[in-house]
Amino acid sequence: MANLKEIRNRITSIGSTMQITSAMKMVSAAKLKKAQDAITKMKPYANKLTELLQGLSASLDSETGGVFSEQREISKVLLVVITSNRGLCGGFNSNIVKEVELLIESDYKTKQVDILSIGKKANDLLKKTHTIIDNKSDVFDELTFENVANIAENIMQLYAEGSYDKIQLAYNQFKNAATQIPTIEDYLPIKPEAGSETKSNLDFIFEPSKAEIVLELIPKSLKTQLYKAIRDSFAAEHGARMTAMHKATDNATELRDDLLLMYNKARQAAITNEILEIVGGAEALNN
């Protein structure tokens, strides 16, 4: 059994760790509330905008709908991988990286695949095995629509120039504080939803024309879609970190309790030995 000093040092060390993990849990819980409110308010608008755009695009050919609706033979693919800048959030980053690796190995095994990372962890985990064309981790320093819109414009330009034939987003979708869903989402080209043409004709009257409305909506919709994905990932990150720190605190508490029990047993054994020595000495003197 370890001596009392070693056990005391371990208890002190674990107590310090518990204070850190507990503080990180509370900080993430506070940030999660704000991030969750932001993505909850934004999702209905973003989803309706995407639905409207798909409905309008259904009746337009690629020439009328613009370059962003052009369907090409896929030979070059860009994956926009969204992770966090920091760790200590469980499997949040590794899960989405595994999904990206699986996607590349299964669907794009014979294609050229490049990666644009949003978040330091994506860059760190994928740069050894894949080509990273850019790292936009600084967007989390000030997460605003304007900063994300600049990234979206660069991605749209790459597609318009023909640098890539398909662009997809890979991120963790926020469900609740304990659940994050790794998601691969098509970004470009824009694909009309099946049956959306009939629905759009029934629901809307278009003025001045479908084509002009689509060309106006496409850039706005793509910027909003990327902003929603980053916001989704941002909320999921804080949920994952809060859950991970909660589990870490619970594990540290359990370990500390075990060590306290071990310490008390060792201390009791030491006291018992001292009593036995005293009693033995007294018996020796009496004899």
CATH number at residue 96: 3.40.1380.10
Query: How many domains is the chain built from?
Result: 1
Going through 51-165 in order, the beta strands assigned E by DSSP cover 76-82, 112-118, 131-135
Domain membership flag for residue 251: no
Judge residue 110's burial from the number of C-beta atoms within 10 Å of its C-beta, 0-12 exposed, 13-18 middle, 19 or more buried: exposed
Q: Which position has the token pair 């849990």?
A: 25
The pLDDT score that the predictor gives to residue 285 is 80
Domain membership flag for residue 11: no
Whether residue 104 has pLDDT greater than 90: yes
Sign of CA dihedral 24, 29, 34, 37: positive
Domain membership flag for residue 250: no
- Active site positions, annotated: 89
Structural domain including 139 reads: 25-244
Domain membership flag for residue 131: yes
The two three-digit tokens of residue 244, written as one number = 């991970």
The pLDDT score that the predictor gives to residue 212 is 76
Percent of the chain whose predicted confidence (pLDDT) is above 70: 90
pLDDT in tens, 221-250: 899 999 999 999 999 999 999 999 999 999
Checking DSSP bridges between strand 112-118 and strand 76-82, what pairing results, if any?
Answer: parallel
Domain membership flag for residue 49: yes
Domain membership flag for residue 15: no
**Cα 262 to Cα 267: distance, rounded to the nearest angstrom:** 9
Helix (H, G, I), strand (E, B), or coil: what is residue 3?
Answer: coil
Domain membership flag for residue 111: yes
Whether residue 27 has pLDDT greater than 80: yes
pLDDT in tens, 63-95: 445 678 788 889 999 999 999 999 889 889 999
Domain membership flag for residue 71: yes
